[in-house]
Chains A and B, each alone.
Chain A
Amino acid sequence: EVQLVESGGGAVWPGRSLRLSCAASGFSFDDYGMSWVRQAPGRGLEWVSGINWSGGRTGYADSVKGRFIISRDNAKNSLYLQMTSLRDEDTALYYCARATYYYNSDGYRRDGGADIWGQGTMVSVSS
């Protein structure tokens, strides 16, 4: 069964750090790009960060750039999100998601939207 399981969430003070993990199983992890998506209570989905299959290319939303770092360990089938300088507005349910992929007109592989999602891990930032 294809599965993503997030862990590492919790309650922290503003300014502190937290590291989220996502354990993948049931598919060839190193074949896929991965993303972190968050959802604040009562709000919509927000793309946070993405990483390609090799880890050689990453992207970040403006709201987290310079504070969060996405990484992966293909040998451990794991995705990570290191979060620093946390703010109240980072409070959300954080989902790990597997990206689909396609080949563009130039023949280059590009990551698309997510086809597999975990159940999320909650991060609460408050004083």
Chain B
Amino acid sequence: SYELTQPPSVSVSPGQTARITCSGDALPKKYAYWHQQKSGQAPVLVIYEDSKRPSGIPERFSGSSSGTMATLTISGAQVEDEGDYYCYSTDSTGYLGVFGGGTKLTVL
């Protein structure tokens, strides 16, 4: 079955740039999506179609994708950005979804 691979954790100081990666064989042909989940809350979409930002998401969140790797970048990370981040995409058929294992972002 298709898998997306993320690092388990990323830690930065406030104001630094946080980068979270997601690797998958189908990413050259399929979009990546990024979700933020804070403790006890439902996930929130922060990046869609590799690099687009939904309304209401701060400009410090950006996304990119190159080859088999997608990257979520938080420029000037803030304490309120702490949480778990999940990438999502589909397999090569486009009909089966998959989430990465999640990355715990710590900002302190």
- Using a CB–CB distance below 8 Å, which chain A residues touch chain B? 35, 37, 44-47, 50, 57, 59-62, 95, 100, 102, 104, 110-115, 117-120
Contact = CB atoms under 8 A, between A and B. Distances in A.
A95 B95 CA distance: 19
Nearest 7 A-B pairs (CB), nearest first?
Answer: A113-B33, A47-B97, A44-B102, A117-B42, A59-B95, A45-B99, A113-B88
Interface string B40-81: 001111001100001000000000000000000000000000
A44 B101 CA distance: 6
A113 B86 CA distance: 11
A113 B45 contact: yes
Given A100-B33, A112-B31, A117-B44, 8 more contacts: A44-B102, A45-B86, A47-B98, A104-B94, A110-B94, A113-B97, A115-B45, A115-B48
B35 interface: yes
A102 B97 contact: no
B54 A115 contact: yes
B84 interface: yes
Given A114-B88, A119-B42, A102 B49 contact: yes
Give the contact-size bracket for chain B.
Answer: 20 to 34
Interface of B: 1, 31, 33, 35, 37, 42-45, 48-49, 54, 84, 86, 88-90, 94-102
19 contacts: A44-B86, A44-B99, A44-B101, A44-B102, A47-B96, A50-B97, A59-B97, A61-B96, A62-B1, A104-B94, A112-B31, A112-B49, A112-B90, A113-B35, A113-B48, A113-B88, A115-B48, A115-B54, A118-B42
A115 B44 CA distance: 7
A118 B41 CA distance: 10
B48 to A, nearest CB: 6
A46 B102 CA distance: 10
Nearest to A52: B95
B32 to A, nearest CB: 8
Contacts of A46: 99
A47 B43 contact: no
A50 B99 CA distance: 13
Given A114-B88, A117-B43, A119-B42, A45 B35 contact: yes
